[in-house]
Structure 1
Amino acid sequence: MPLQSIAAAFQRHFGHEPLLVRAPGRVNLIGEHTDYNGGFVLPAAIDKEIYFAVALNDSTTARLHSYDLNESYTTEISEVHRDETQWANYLKGVVAQFQKRGIEVPGFDCMFGGNIPIGAGLSSSAAVECGLGFALNELLGTRLDRMELARMGQQAEHEYAGVRSGLMDQFASLFGRPEHVVRLDCRSLDYEYFPFNTENCHIVLCNSGVKHSLASSEYNTRRHECEQGVAILQKYYPQVHSLRDATLEQVEKHREELGDVVYRRCRYVVEENLRVESASNHLLEGNLEAFGQDMYGSHAGLRDDYEVSCKELDVLVDVARTVPGVYGARMMGGGFGGCTINLVAPDQVDNFVATMTQAYHEKLQLKLETYKTKIVGGVEAVASPASK
């Protein structure tokens, strides 16, 4: 069990008793690239997690250790800044957010590791940010609420990882609830839970094996293209502050001025927001077939209009469509690699995995990793394995 290993390794490495924290990764059933456009998303926390052991150390130094990489990093708290050690940047970014809020962070020791596949689009970075933020909030007694911790994680991502991500990943890690997905309105930050019964339907992820970085220029380019679209629409519709406020009719009417690329980016985002609302209603009705059709529509939009898919992801979705018991499939995450998310009837999961693995190898000569996931609760402190 990773938690036990990390708790024991912390004691060996640092010689004192830590607070233990579990921080989950996330899946997003539908609503991709909508969060930074003020739209809707429908994520859930999953049982791929980062475990933290953290304790104050009576010094002015942060001693950080990545269990999985077996690498250590030390910095004076007063001199926290970005540098070439990327994994440490996420943690330092969180420390900087406490400091920005006027909270003095003393020296601390931190060891972390887990089982979220890196580069699979399951938000390992958000889990790292939220896990440390939660731990320091507990240890310092600062009583920041979960939404504030999510915002701090997002800002750490912006300022220390260079990714202008939306709030969804951090929100999902902190606000997850077992057997539920949560619809977040990224403009108002209102949210609503929807039951997701994993006895009726399993979530299976297929990892394309293509490594991608959200910090890639394409992610930030898409965000800029959406902002260009808003600037044009706002000239005619002052109430349009983000693509969340735009209608398909408005986008169509100004297609020529938007230009082909920006038009298609805007059309995708507006349509995707409509799909999230539609899919949420299908969940309430228990209509998994209709939910799955919205997922396929989402993938087509990401492939053709938003242009963030890739050959590997398209092959996985095309094959999934032909497998018995699959309700829906789509690419998930920033794009250009990572995972597809698939909703599969429980009695068909083994056949699905076998069929997908074989087809991926036959079509692309690539090895497929799959993950069967459960929906779990959000970031929390956990008891020491020894004390259970």
Structure 2
Amino acid sequence: MQSAESKTSDRIKEAYLRKFGTDSAEPRVFRSPGRINLIGEHTDYNNGFVLPASVDKAVYFAIAPLAGDLVTLYAADLGETYSFSLNDLSKPDQSWPHYQIGIIDQIKKSGLTIGGFQAAFGGDVPVGAGMSSSAALECCLLFALNELNHLNLDRFSIVKMAQKAENEYVGVQCGIMDQFASAFGKDQMVIRLDCRSLEFEYFPFPMKDYLLVLCDTTVKHSLEDSEYNTRRLECEAGVKILKKYNPEINSLRDASIAIVELHKDELGDVIYRRCKYMTEEIQRVQQACDYLNEGNLESFGKKMYQTHDGLQYEYEVSCTELDFLVDLTRDNPDVVGSRMMGGGFGGCTINLVRIEAVEDFEATMKEAYKKQYSIELPCYRVKITNGTEEIL
């Protein structure tokens, strides 16, 4: 039986051949996966640790070089085409080509040269579910152009250039985790990324007995952007106070839970709760990795629940829909861990579910969510797979 991944890659290759003709250059096909983050939420801008993994939902490019400087992009899932010259990287009115042009912009800024090309792209990363389809797209195209044009970029350079493309051309101030997880993923492994040093280490996440299921609230409350900026400022305010007592504290990564407790009154209720969550979450990632080394997914799952409770009550970035879904799982013996995933105020919960119980789990969640909110609940089963690669 053909896997979902091979079906999607075949679909994109067929879209390329329909668009550009069977007598055109034979394309090479590349994939770059979406990502999940198992634990370590909002820790990136506090120089902490995150624990992402790449998953079996990906963006695919079927691509072939062309003589000259013309680029033609075909968005197979939209049925739209955009063509431009490598000498004119101005922003089009259509928003979807911004990511691809941003990648070419970074290549030029690095002093590298590429030729024209034609490509069809698409995939099965659910848009808006917090799996970072944009990072997957950026890494996939840059990896493909690196191979086609022999640019000799290593994966780390690809990650940093893809992030800069989103920061500088698209105008989204994302961190590096999404691109990193997409490019560096390994089958049945999670990556502990140190957001301060960018050092990383793999930890085993065997998928023999469990499956990861994302439950998508399909809501996005408008608070997200403003509250995200507020949380950053609140963390910085906490650092400013704590630094008076220990000059080595430059971010909450440098603070301990004990020093936060010691200065609870001076921090005040809100800043104290933000700092408490953050110092505990940075420590939780470390503890969770120890459990993975022991093969103890039950204890790992308990850490996921602790993270959600912290995000709900102390960091206050959850919402009623996310809390409802997590609370539904707490008495289910087949769910060992559940939490909101991502920036908050909507998006998905991530659930660690015994593999034999997944059908019942999804049915229960869908029925309860429909009854409570009159909304159909999409559920996505994900496996942890390899990062960006060519499909041969």
Could you say whether these structures have the same fold, taking a TM-score greater than 0.5 normalized by the shorter chain as the test?
yes
- Residue of structure 2 in register with 1:386 after alignment: none
- Residue of structure 1 in register with 2:389 after alignment: 380
In structure 2, C-alpha distance between the alignment counterparts of 1:52 and 1:299, rounded to whole Å: 36
Change in CA separation of 1:324 and 1:246 when aligned onto 2, cut-off 3 Å: same
1:150 aligned to which of 152, 159, 174: 159
Change in CA separation of 1:10 and 1:211 when aligned onto 2, cut-off 3 Å: farther
Cα offsets for 1:87-125 (capped at 9, x unmatched): 211212211221221112332222210111100001111
In structure 2, C-alpha distance between the alignment counterparts of 1:363 and 1:138, rounded to whole Å: 50
TM-score, scaled to structure 2: 0.91
For residues 336-351 of structure 1, what are the structure 2 equivalents within 5 Å? 336-351=345-360
- Residue of structure 2 in register with 1:311 after alignment: 320
Q: Which deviates further from its counterpart, 185-194 or 114-123?
A: 185-194
1:129 aligned to which of 138, 150, 156: 138
In structure 2, C-alpha distance between the alignment counterparts of 1:69 and 1:211, rounded to whole Å: 23
- Residue of structure 1 in register with 2:293 after alignment: 284
Give the secondary-structure state (helix, strand or coil) at the position aligned to 1:376: coil
In structure 1, C-alpha distance between the alignment counterparts of 2:264 and 2:95, rounded to whole Å: 41
**Is the contact between residue 125 and residue 131 of structure 2 (CA under 8 Å) also seen in structure 1?**
yes
In structure 2, C-alpha distance between the alignment counterparts of 1:267 and 1:86, rounded to whole Å: 39
Give the secondary-structure state (helix, strand or coil) at the position aligned to 1:267: helix
2:307 matches 1:302: no
In structure 2, C-alpha distance between the alignment counterparts of 1:64 and 1:184, rounded to whole Å: 33
**Is the contact between residue 190 and residue 203 of structure 2 (CA under 8 Å) also seen in structure 1?**
yes
2:352 matches 1:352: no
- Residue of structure 2 in register with 1:272 after alignment: 281
2:342 aligned to which of 318, 333, 340: 333
**CA-CA distance at 1:294 after TM superposition:** 0.8
1:6 aligned to which of 2, 12, 26: 12
Change in CA separation of 1:246 and 1:79 when aligned onto 2, cut-off 3 Å: farther
In structure 2, C-alpha distance between the alignment counterparts of 1:215 and 1:94, rounded to whole Å: 27
For residues 89-104 of structure 1, what are the structure 2 equivalents within 5 Å? 89-104=98-113
Q: Which deviates further from its counterpart, 194-203 or 372-381?
A: 194-203
TM-score, scaled to structure 1: 0.92
**Is the contact between residue 40 and residue 186 of structure 1 (CA under 8 Å) also seen in structure 2?**
yes
Cα offsets for 1:240-290 (capped at 9, x unmatched): 232212222333444455554444333322211111111111112222222
Give the secondary-structure state (helix, strand or coil) at the position aligned to 2:59: strand
In structure 1, C-alpha distance between the alignment counterparts of 2:119 and 2:225, rounded to whole Å: 28
In structure 1, C-alpha distance between the alignment counterparts of 2:166 and 2:261, rounded to whole Å: 34
- Residue of structure 1 in register with 2:148 after alignment: 139
**CA-CA distance at 1:160 after TM superposition:** 2.9
For residues 102-121 of structure 1, what are the structure 2 equivalents within 5 Å? 102-121=111-130
**CA-CA distance at 1:298 after TM superposition:** 0.6
Give the secondary-structure state (helix, strand or coil) at the position aligned to 2:96: helix
One-letter amino acid of the counterpart of residue 154, structure 1: Q
Q: Which deviates further from its counterpart, 228-237 or 149-158?
A: 228-237
Give the secondary-structure state (helix, strand or coil) at the position aligned to 1:216: helix
Change in CA separation of 1:159 and 1:237 when aligned onto 2, cut-off 3 Å: farther
**CA-CA distance at 1:344 after TM superposition:** 0.9
One-letter amino acid of the counterpart of residue 20, structure 1: V
Report how many aligned residue pairs link the two structures: 383
In structure 1, C-alpha distance between the alignment counterparts of 2:17 and 2:223, rounded to whole Å: 34
Q: CA RMSD in A?
A: 2.1
**Is the contact between residue 120 and residue 211 of structure 1 (CA under 8 Å) also seen in structure 2?**
no
**Is the contact between residue 35 and residue 181 of structure 2 (CA under 8 Å) also seen in structure 1?**
yes
**Is the contact between residue 119 and residue 213 of structure 1 (CA under 8 Å) also seen in structure 2?**
no
Q: Which deviates further from its counterpart, 82-91 or 367-376?
A: 82-91
In structure 1, C-alpha distance between the alignment counterparts of 2:244 and 2:88, rounded to whole Å: 45
**CA-CA distance at 1:54 after TM superposition:** 2.0
**Is the contact between residue 162 and residue 215 of structure 1 (CA under 8 Å) also seen in structure 2?**
no
Cα offsets for 1:213-257 (capped at 9, x unmatched): 998344344334434443444454332232212222333444455
Cα offsets for 1:266-325 (capped at 9, x unmatched): 332221111111111111222222211110111111122222211111111010112231
One-letter amino acid of the counterpart of residue 4, structure 1: D
2:372 aligned to which of 353, 356, 363: 363
- Residue of structure 2 in register with 1:196 after alignment: 205
Give the secondary-structure state (helix, strand or coil) at the position aligned to 1:79: coil
Unaligned runs of 5+ residues in structure 1 are 384-388
Q: Percent identity?
A: 53
Change in CA separation of 1:107 and 1:366 when aligned onto 2, cut-off 3 Å: same
**Is the contact between residue 224 and residue 345 of structure 2 (CA under 8 Å) also seen in structure 1?**
no
Change in CA separation of 1:323 and 1:224 when aligned onto 2, cut-off 3 Å: same
Give the secondary-structure state (helix, strand or coil) at the position aligned to 1:111: strand
For residues 41-60 of structure 1, what are the structure 2 equivalents within 5 Å? 41-60=50-69
In structure 1, C-alpha distance between the alignment counterparts of 2:233 and 2:168, rounded to whole Å: 17
